[in-house]
Amino acid sequence: GNSVTQMEGPVTLSEEAFLTINCTYTATGYPSLFWYVQYPGEGLQLLLKATKADDKGSNKGFEATYRKETTSFHLEKGSVQVSDSAVYFCALSDQDAGGTSYGKLTFGQGTILTVHP
């Protein structure tokens, strides 16, 4: 079956530090990969996505590249801010060779990021 593994957290950084959150996956088909962010007391928001190998997703200074050879989708940001403090989830949605999506998301366990001024 499909699975997503995220680096163990929590992660604590100072403002303007470089961020990496590792994510690896296993999937049976041709997955699309996502990073979602959950701010305290809120639902999940899509941060970025990549739908095929070598695609780079980017948003709000965050980036992640779909690496099929290493089955990875690591999240990076060059300079974090206090407002980036949240829980980050890596997820995948599997699909077959014809592009039909199975819809449901499989999530990693989440990584808590805390950024101090």
Partner 1 sequence: DSGVTQTPKHLITATGQRVTLRCSPRSGDLSVYWYQQSLDQGLQFLIQYYNGEERAKGNILERFSAQQFPDLHSELNLSSLELGDSALYFCASSVDSRHYNEQFFGPGTRLTVL
Choose, by CB under 8 A, the member of 12, 109, 112, 116 that binds partner 1: 109
89 binds partner 1 (CB under 8 A): yes
24 binds partner 1 (CB under 8 A): no
8 binds partner 1 (CB under 8 A): no
Choices 14-22, 63-71, 72-80, 94-102 (CB under 8 A): range interacting with partner 1? 94-102
How far apart are alpha carbons 57 and 74 in whole angstroms?
11
Burial of 29 (0-12, 13-18, 19+ CB in 10 A): middle
Tokens of 77: 């940001």
Tokens of 100: 């039909």
Which stretches of the chain bind partner 1, using CB under 8 A? Answer: 32, 36, 41-46, 49, 51, 89, 93, 95, 99-110
